[in-house]
Chains A and B, each alone.
Chain A
Amino acid sequence: MKTIIAMLVTLTIIGVVSGGGLAMISGWAAPLIAANKKAATERAIFLVQPEAKQYEAVAEVPYELYRVLDEGGQPTGYSFPWEGNGFQGNIRMMIGLTPDLATITAIEVLEQVETPGLGTMILEDPFRGQFNGLKTEPQVDWVKGAPPTKENEVQTITGATISSKAIVDIVNDGLARLRTDLAQGGDK
């Protein structure tokens, strides 16, 4: 009985002390962490919309979506974070779109765990650059082993076909959601 009480008391004290200490440190760190996260999102928003000067969150959709504006406050497009499955894990990316959603301005991969040296070529310009000015109607298509012939096509990377297709799929998936939701909300 005595040991049981000693065990309970010891563990309780250790738990309370460590919990209290962590609460204090978390109180200091939480605002800084939130600021870091905001800075990272902001950086990504302007990366895919180089012309934009300011942005605002769009409240009509149940996920993150940012409308970017020029100096005069006129909407010039959307920055749209979306994610999906890659070859080995989640790929999270930021998609830049024109206001009518018909053209991609640029894409940026924010998080990925693709194979280093092969799948990670999706981060590099020979592949990524293909999305600058790419048409999205009726959807983005991919071709393998030959340069794209249509305005809505990209060429997959040799040796990283799955990662390349994953990017195209995420873009199409996000666009499909966005088109329905914005049409319903009458945002256009």
Chain B
Amino acid sequence: MSKKQVSLFNDYTKGVWDQNPVFKQVLGMCPALAVTVSAMNGIAMALATTFVLVFSSFIISLIRKLIPSQVRIASYIVVIATFVTIVDLVMRAQFPELSKELGPYIPLIVVNCLILGRQEAFSSKNNPFRSVLDALGMGTGFLIALASLGAIRELFGSRSILGVQLLPDAFEPWLIMILPAGAFLTLGLMMGGLNAMILRRKRREEADILSKHIPKTYVAASEGQEV
């Protein structure tokens, strides 16, 4: 891969993991906590948000040089709100059941700081192609986070994932998982777990480097052992 390809690839992948909107940037918490009572709700919410994010990023990147900087936030909001309204109308027309579940949360995508944040941080400074890649990456990261959050809460709160029962009837559902408190607990534990994993890997890498570059006797001495 050439250097340019690497950077384009990175535009996409950074949102999936390194800068995951939920686990790393802690953006878009309102939908992440509120609608993830089931995996399906999480997935639908993430797809709706991704749609809005991708199209807003594309349009704003296209017109980024025409918008006076004093009114840029207002312009972003109008563009974002337009796509959110489109999502809302299409959902109510084609998926009435889903729209009933997510109802009040769809209009709130307008103020999802993940979307506004990407416009300010990326689309307003980069070309449309890179902006769309960035938006798709962030959307994927958001989807992974909301789907896993929703799946865990649905599993323990309703014994099933995507409506398929996985735990036996003898398992008493943990009510708290489908209440708001369950969302905070699950998110906190997931973030903690992920950070612990990353920290451990980093420590191991550091230890590897140390052992390669520093003579063995020196390391042992520094650890207080007899040489």
Instruction: Please tell me if the beta carbons of A115 and B179 are within 8 angstroms of each other in the complex.
Output: yes
Known: A11-B78, A18-B82, A25-B89. A32 touches B68 (CB 8 A): no
User: Which residues of chain B (74-93) have a CB below 8 Å from chain A?
Assistant: 74-75, 78-79, 81-82, 85-86, 89-90, 92-93
Instruction: Please tell me if the beta carbons of A10 and B179 are within 8 angstroms of each other in the complex.
Output: no
Q: Lowest 7 A-B CB distances belong to which pairs?
A: A32-B93, A18-B82, A29-B89, A29-B93, A36-B96, A117-B175, A7-B71
A126 is an interface residue with CB less than 8 A from chain B: no
Known: A11-B75, A14-B78. A26 touches B178 (CB 8 A): no
Determine the chain B residues whose CB is within 8 A of the CB of A29 once the complex forms. Answer: 89-90, 92-93
Known: A25-B86, A29-B93, A116-B179. A7 touches B68 (CB 8 A): yes
Closest to A111 in B: B100
User: Which residues of chain B (50-86) have a CB below 8 Å from chain A?
Assistant: 66-68, 70-71, 74-75, 78-79, 81-82, 85-86
A3 is an interface residue with CB less than 8 A from chain B: yes
B28 is an interface residue with CB less than 8 A from chain A: no
Q: How far is it, in angstroms, between the C-alpha of A25 and the C-alpha of B86 when the chains are bound?
A: 7
Q: Determine the interface band of chain A, counting residues with CB < 8 A from chain B.
A: 20 to 34
* Total chain B interface residues with beta-carbon distance under 8 A: 25
- Least CB distance from B60 to A in Å reads 10
Secondary structure class of chain A's binding surface, majority of residues: helix
Q: How far is it, in angstroms, between the C-alpha of A21 and the C-alpha of B86 when the chains are bound?
A: 9
Known: A10-B67, A10-B68. A116 touches B175 (CB 8 A): yes
Q: Can you identify 24 A-B contacts, CB atoms within 8 angstroms?
A: A3-B68, A10-B67, A10-B71, A11-B71, A11-B74, A11-B75, A11-B78, A18-B81, A21-B86, A22-B86, A22-B89, A25-B85, A25-B86, A26-B89, A28-B93, A29-B89, A32-B92, A32-B93, A33-B96, A36-B93, A115-B179, A116-B157, A116-B175, A116-B178
Q: How far is it, in angstroms, between the C-alpha of A15 and the C-alpha of B81 when the chains are bound?
A: 11
Closest to A2 in B: B68
Q: A7-B70, A33-B96, A118-B175 are in contact. List 11 more A-B contacts (CB 8 A).
A: A10-B68, A10-B71, A11-B74, A11-B75, A22-B89, A25-B89, A28-B93, A29-B89, A32-B93, A36-B93, A116-B37
Q: How far is it, in angstroms, between the C-alpha of A17 and the C-alpha of B149 when the chains are bound?
A: 37
B5 is an interface residue with CB less than 8 A from chain A: no
Determine the chain A residues whose CB is within 8 A of the CB of B179 once the complex forms. Answer: 115-116
- Least CB distance from A101 to B in Å reads 30
